[in-house]
Amino acid sequence: MGIDYTKRPAQPAQPEPAQPQQSGQGGKVSLTKAAPTVSLTKQGSASGLMRVNLNWNALPSGGGGLFRRPKQLDLDLGCLYEFADGTKGVVQALGNAFTAQPRGERTRVIWLDADDRSGASSTGENLFIDLAFAGQLKRVLVFALIYEGAANWASADGVVTLFPANGPQVEVKLDDPRDGARICAVAMLESAGGDLSVRREVNYLNGGQRLLDETYGWGMNWTAGRK
């Protein structure tokens, strides 16, 4: 019996693309491995002042020995940025690089509010991005760095939450920890074709800002800094 080439086998149904988990009425969007990206533009959040918050457990369990308390974890929040005009840099407490703006712009576009050295602050550390300048942003890579204390991300139990002026919060949990790594690329904000999106990274690296730069192709020169 010959093969009937006029008939095609039934095509398997294509799975729907995973969507970020959303809880509550306009409340929170959680970015996960299965659904790592959300469009701020499509959810009406690509304007106004956005706060990026890092919170963590400053007192890790264990590791202090019989007569020693474990050293408190000091996590730093920061970002690598690139504006549409090609201006690149870092915003972080290290080196007192607290603000950033495009070339020739006097108004700050990205800034840190303070450096929480103890982790005891109920508000954690906060990075602000003025989305009134969203058209001048190309990409912003938000990162968390263990500045002091054991490189124990599991005990840190960190979470980064983006609070847009409008629309739901966007949450990125620092899960899937890789102990021994000092820095974690948390999330990437990218502007392309009029769309501003956030993509989960949660990429732990055995190095510092220089390795982060090399991994994501920023191409900057680095020197040692202190705070």
For residue 139, the enclosing domain spans 21-216
Tell me: the pLDDT tens digits for 92-127? 988 889 999 999 888 999 999 865 554 445 578 999
Is pLDDT larger for residue 25 or for residue 137? 137
Q: Residue 225 domain-assigned?
A: no
Structure tokens given for 146: 């263990």
Token pair 């929170």 is found at 28
The answer to whether the CB of 94 falls within 8 A of the CB of 225 is: yes
pTM: 0.83
Q: Residue 7 domain-assigned?
A: no
Domains in the chain, number: 1
Percent of the chain with pLDDT over 90: 60
Beta bridge partners of 128: 51, 111
At 58 the pLDDT is 73
**Which CATH number is 137's domain given?**
2.60.60.30
- Alpha-carbon Rg for the chain in angstroms: 21
Q: Residue 43 domain-assigned?
A: yes
Tell me: the pLDDT tens digits for 8-47? 334 444 444 455 555 444 589 999 999 999 999 999 999 9
CA–CA distance, 43 with 29 (Å, rounded to integer): 11
Q: Residue 221 domain-assigned?
A: no
Q: Residue 176 domain-assigned?
A: yes
At 62 the pLDDT is 52
Q: Residue 50 domain-assigned?
A: yes
Q: Residue 44 domain-assigned?
A: yes
Q: Residue 223 domain-assigned?
A: no
Kindly tell me the burial class for residue 219, based on how many C-beta atoms sit within 10 Å of its own C-beta (0-12, 13-18, 19 or more). exposed
